[in-house]
Structure 1
């Protein structure tokens, strides 16, 4: 009997994380921010949580920059930590400061650090973060500018990538070509689901922070 080939990794990642993605996307903190019902301080709090996550992810990925199981999707144009630091300084100069690192942020960082020896798991985290930034992140930037009149402190959402759709298509093709075993594919998918779940919990904790 002929063995059924697995779906392309990009397809499996999208379908397997659809529920977790939807839950995170519709969290109250994000829907209020995008509706103009929050304020610039909410964005700053989100950026503050994002910084240690990207620092951990980018450090872990650089350590595997020669590993064929992840190297084809790594691109320095995607890296966000420097932009986040610059944005937070811009907001600080404008009097918008958040020095709180939430427990879920520490848990998120710990999950990434725990994947440091598992390039396939890092693929899952990488997929969630950067494709999200190139997709939903652009919506966040546009609506934040519209609702809160912000221009500075948003470089996190600006990529040196002329055609995002073309880049995303090429990224998915690179994902599909990664030489991952079945077990490694499962590890990537599991990590992507954890990443979405941690994002959702981050939005819940940010919402609770706002109400205190």
Structure 2
């Protein structure tokens, strides 16, 4: 997906964090004022659509954070790598479980029919997002810094505003359902019950993150250009994800149809790109293995969840391979 959005020219001798902000500020403002983003920020999305959005985010963060972990010692990525402070996967899993009304064990929601439908019939924008992350992890992992920038900085900024609106909109009385928006105090990582960051501490984390970007990139002009390009791509991917939510309707309700039907919904079938022959064959092989596991061993017992994870892994790799 080419980055075609027009932004003002940027002085590439500036620190990298300043370049990323100046080079994408127009796009950021346009996306943040879009209809879906406004609904999301104000907590005006249907509860079902909001859960659907969180599920997609979990898979996006899973790919992003796995890539960051695999390259944790890279000189460009290491200054901003602090999963104990920044990682969002566990909090997202907890929120999804609570909003679905299933046990918060990091297992139940993944076997829920809505998540199975998402993996078996992924919306085009979601599939493109995961595919892009998968590609750069293999080909140019330093570009992950651009995705970290818009994801974590967005969570630290707009997420703090959204938290109160989400609680009010969905009748939430405490942190349950909104833990995704919580960050701990820097220096409290590893504590069993770390203090939550207030607005002043959130600002401190943001400054640390921007300083880490600048330290990692240094004066590498070529890398600055690559990261600016990737940040633009990341914003476009996120915009498409917002547009998908706007167009989708209540996916949680539709998921019953998706999960029980061998074909995706008509809207998705018309808008999705055709899979390659290799992807189709790989998917069929994955389903064959999954069927064998279910028929021979079932999904119950002490190793039932391990089997389910294996099935999901095969299906996901088949669907999102490029």
Displacement of 1:211 in angstroms is 7.2
In structure 2, stretches of 5+ residues that fail to align are 1-10, 103-108, 186-196, 252-322
> Residue 42 of structure 1: CA displacement?
2.7
Larger radius of gyration: 2
Q: Which residue of 2 aligns with 1:176?
A: 214
Q: Which residue of 1 aligns with 2:233?
A: 194
Q: Following the alignment from structure 2 to structure 1, what is the Cα–Cα distance between the partners of residues 245 and 223?
A: 33
Structure 1 residue 135, shift from structure 2 partner? 0.5
Runs of 4+ in 1 over 6 A off after TM superposition: none
- Could you tell me how far apart the structure 2 residues matched to 1:142 and 1:191 are? 31
Q: How many residues align?
A: 209
Post-superposition CA distance 1:122-169 (Å, at most 9, x none): 111110100100101111112111232224221111111331101111
> 2:292 maps to which residue?
none
1:53 aligns with 2:60: yes
Q: Note the 1:93-112 alignment, pairs <5 A.
A: 93=101, 98-99=114-115, 100=118, 101-112=122-133
Indicate yes or no: 2:180 matched with 1:156. Answer: yes
From the superposition, tell whether residues 7 and 37 of structure 1 become closer, same or farther in structure 2 (CA, over 3 Å): same
Aligned pairs for 1:78-157 within 5 A:
78-93=86-101, 98-99=114-115, 100=118, 101-116=122-137, 117-150=139-172, 151=174, 152-157=176-181
| Cα shift at 1:90 | 1.3
Gapped regions of structure 1 (runs ≥ 5):
none
TM-score normalised by length of structure 2: 0.60
* TM-score normalized with structure 1 length: 0.89
Which residue of structure 1 aligns with residue 298 of structure 2? Answer: none
Out of 246, 250, 253, which is 1:207 matched to? 246
Contact in 2 for aligned 1:84/1:156 (Cα 8 Å): yes
For the 8 Å contact 2:92–2:179, the answer to whether it is kept is: yes
Task: Determine the C-alpha separation between the residues in 2 that align with 1:211 and 1:153.
Answer: 19
The answer to which structure, 1 or 2, has the higher relative contact order (CA under 8 A, 6+ apart) is 1
Provide the C-alpha distance between the structure 1 equivalents of 2:23 and 2:43, rounded to a whole number of angstroms.
31
Match of 1:64 among 71, 91, 94: 71
